[in-house]
Amino acid sequence: MSFLKRKKNRKRAPLSGEMELQITSMADIFTILLVFLLKSFSTGAVNITPGAGMILAQAQAAEAPVEALKVEVSEATVAVEGTPAAPLQHFEFNPGDLESQGNSKALSLVLERERKRQVLISQNNPDVKLDARIVIIADERVPYQTLKVVLASAALQGFTDFKLAVIQKE
Amino acid sequence: MRAGESQDFELNLASIIDCFTVLIAFMLATASFLSIGVLDAGMAAAGAEAKSQAEPPPVQLVLTLRKDHSVLLELSGRESRKEEIPALGQSTDLESLGARLKATQGRWSALQSATLQAENQVPYRDVIQAMDVTRKTLPAVLLGGF
């Protein structure tokens, strides 16, 4: 008997309206994906999120981020812990805002408030020590002149351990 | 085992898949695949080095980034020397900078830090790049010029 004839004679199983998807393998894939995403999500307690439109510089020799006061320098503003502290015009401070020591009046006021808050906490809680660390999250287009003002303002309030946030290059 | 009870059963995975789909969609939407790190930088201030170290290093190194992408290396102390690394087209010659720093550190092994400063209009990106190269040779980089 030829192959065609045999095929013709074979009885087809009755078609059922019910169909079952084989989803066990799909569940496996989803579990692996979920574990991978959970792992790469954000494992540490430190959260550094650059603002919209901000381009961070890249570096290879970067270390793990630390939890400290965050100062963000973007095109239009300098923000301390997400709150705008001093306005900028195309990455530059308003000349009227600058003081003789090279710091910004507006930024220094906000940083001074933060420092006082830290001092108050450390006075009431002996376990908490004054932290000199400050994380600078600056756009890569910021001129050094602006950065100098930010650093000088921070240094005047006792924040002298600068941590510059960068994107880690592979 | 009771009569009629079969050990062959199937898990109802459809609801689990639903949960996973929602979770994965949420995580993909919120996940940031960029790895952010920090570069440690101190502040270069007069007397700071003398306070922190019992014996000051025999030489001090100051790197100055210029607007035209050239770099000036100034060595002071027991060896006093100025060296300029010309720009490589429209960018800083980081390879030469790294090589010169290695050569300097080879001569003065006690040299462990450098002060990095830049002209006013030099973008932050160039400062970070120079800092990144410097940190490969010298562990401590201090920011100066303010």
Q: What is the DSSP string of A113-158?
A: HHHHHHHHHHHH-TT-----EEEEEEBTT-BHHHHHHHHHHHHHTT
> Which positions in chain A touch B41 (Cβ < 8 Å)?
162-164
Whether this model's ipTM surpasses 0.95 comes out as: no
* Res A10: pLDDT: 56
Q: Does any domain span residue A50?
A: no
Is residue A161 pLDDT above 80, yes or no? yes
The verdict on a CB contact (< 8 Å) between B36 and A143 is no
Tokens describing residue B37: 């790190």
The mean pLDDT of B64-73, rounded to a whole number, is 93
pLDDT cut 90: percent of chain B above it? 36
- Structure pTM? 0.76
What CATH number has the domain bearing residue A156?
Answer: 3.30.420
The verdict on a CB contact (< 8 Å) between B128 and A58 is yes
Per residue in A71-118, pLDDT tens? Answer: 999 999 999 998 999 999 999 999 899 988 889 999 999 999 999 999
Verify that A17 and A87 share a domain, yes or no: no
Per residue in A1-33, pLDDT tens? Answer: 455 555 555 556 566 677 766 778 888 888 898
- Any CB–CB contact under 8 A between B29 and chain A? no
- Rounded distance between C-alpha atoms, residue A165 and residue A61, angstroms: 12
Verify that A64 and A129 share a domain, yes or no: yes
* Res A6: pLDDT: 53
**Which parts of chain A are beta strand (E)?**
58-59, 69-73, 77-80, 83-89, 92-93, 133-138, 161-168
Verify that A27 and A108 share a domain, yes or no: no
Structural domains counted in chain A: 2
Tokens describing residue A50: 């650059």
Pick the CATH number of B42-143 from 3.30.310.80, 3.40.50.970, 3.30.420.40, 2.60.40.1220: 3.30.420.40
